[in-house]
């Protein structure tokens, strides 16, 4: 189904099925909440160290539920696609069916960004919120999970972030033009999952965990914040919300791990890294992101 026909077709489905608030069919008087991005947007949930898939446990589905709870009901149109970098989001046609968010529309041969922009444009005046989370897959090759640290990791991250900046700026400009000046756009960053190396990789892991703080705080998140600000978007620094900047000298006791830095304990709580070596949020992590998005969008 093309994006051009998506709203009409989903409305017909809604009339027949009475879908829940997280479906993509907006009822009369409701607006749309459009989710754009990578596996965080798509709600990826690991089922073990080597498996998983997208699910409605993701933060976008929680935000949609909160719009109803707070009397500003919006139907979720989730364009998220697991695994995409910012460049892929902008230019790569389609998304593998297994990587799509639950209930996602077919892109109709378009890139995710173009499909979302067309949807927003065609529903101008009925879109109440747009969220964007992307960039993690841009820098991930510089910080390989389970491998020895790259000696050029900082240079690699710096170069990747500059490429990310260009692609993100283009995507955000198109979304803002399609949505209009008054629609809230909220950009989302990531918890510092690499802090989990503190408890999974011994002494070398502690060095990696400590170095990761600067990567998020000084290299990645300032660029994301600046690009969202240029289009009048809010920015949720999830790294900070997930206690990723708490000094590593501040400690707490965690069953199974003993005394660890508070920031490390939070990484274990909000992501699956300590459990599976997986970078994705737990239920607590998605709940945390949703709470901050709702606040940033002035829904609550």
Summarised one tens digit per residue, pLDDT across range 63-91 is 999 999 999 999 999 999 999 999 999 99
Q: With 0.85 as the threshold, say if the pTM is over it.
A: yes
Helix extents (H) in the chain: 3-17, 39-42, 59-69, 86-91, 112-122, 136-139, 153-179, 197-200, 202-214, 221-230, 238-241, 262-270, 273-276, 283-296
What's residue 249's pLDDT?
Answer: 98
> Rounded mean pLDDT of 249-274?
97
Domain boundaries, given as residue ranges, for the chain: 3-296
Percentage of residues in the chain with pLDDT exceeding 90?
84
* Residue pLDDT, tens place only, 209-246: 999 999 999 999 999 999 999 999 999 999 999 999 99
> Rounded mean pLDDT of 245-271?
97
Q: Which CATH number fits domain 3-296: 3.40.50.2300, 3.40.50.1110, 2.60.40.10, 1.10.10.10?
A: 3.40.50.1110
* Residue pLDDT, tens place only, 107-128: 999 999 999 999 999 999 999 9
> Rounded mean pLDDT of 136-152?
88
The three-class DSSP label of residue 256 is coil
What's residue 9's pLDDT?
Answer: 40
């Amino acid at each position: 189904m093309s994006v051009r026909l998506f709203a009409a077709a989903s409305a017909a489905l809604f009339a027949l099925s009475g879908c829940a608030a997280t479906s993509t069919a907006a009822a009369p008087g409701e607006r749309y909440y459009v989710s754009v991005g990578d596996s965080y947007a798509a709600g990826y949930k690991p089922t073990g160290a080597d498996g998983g898939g997208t699910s409605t446990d993701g933060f976008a589905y929680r935000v949609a539920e909160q719009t109803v709870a707070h009397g500003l009901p919006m139907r979720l149109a989730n364009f998220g696609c697991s695994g995409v970098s910012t460049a892929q989001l902008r230019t790569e046609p389609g998304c593998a069916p297994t990587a799509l968010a639950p209930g996602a529309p077919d892109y109709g041969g378009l890139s995710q960004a173009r499909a979302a922009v067309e949807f927003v444009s065609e529903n101008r005046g009925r879109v109440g919120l747009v969220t964007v989370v992307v960039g993690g897959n841009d820098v991930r090759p510089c910080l390989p999970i389970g491998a020895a640290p790259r000696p050029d990791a900082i240079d690699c991250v710096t170069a990747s972030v500059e490429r990310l900046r260009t692609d993100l700026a283009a995507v955000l400009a198109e979304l803002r033009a399609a949505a209009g000046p008054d629609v809230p756009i909220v950009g989302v960053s990531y918890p510092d999952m690499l802090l989990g190396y503190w408890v999974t990789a011994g002494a070398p892991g502690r060095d990696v965990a400590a170095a990761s703080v600067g990567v998020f705080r000084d290299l990645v998140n300032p660029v994301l914040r600046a690009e969202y600000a240029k289009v009048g978007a809010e920015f949720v620094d999830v790294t900070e919300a997930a206690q990723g900047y708490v000094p590593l000298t501040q400690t707490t006791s965690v069953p199974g791990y003993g005394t660890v830095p508070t920031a490390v304990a939070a990484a274990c709580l909000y992501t699956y890294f300590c459990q599976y070596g997986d970078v994705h949020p737990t239920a607590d992590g998605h709940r945390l992101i949703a709470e901050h998005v709702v606040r940033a969008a002035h829904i609550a």
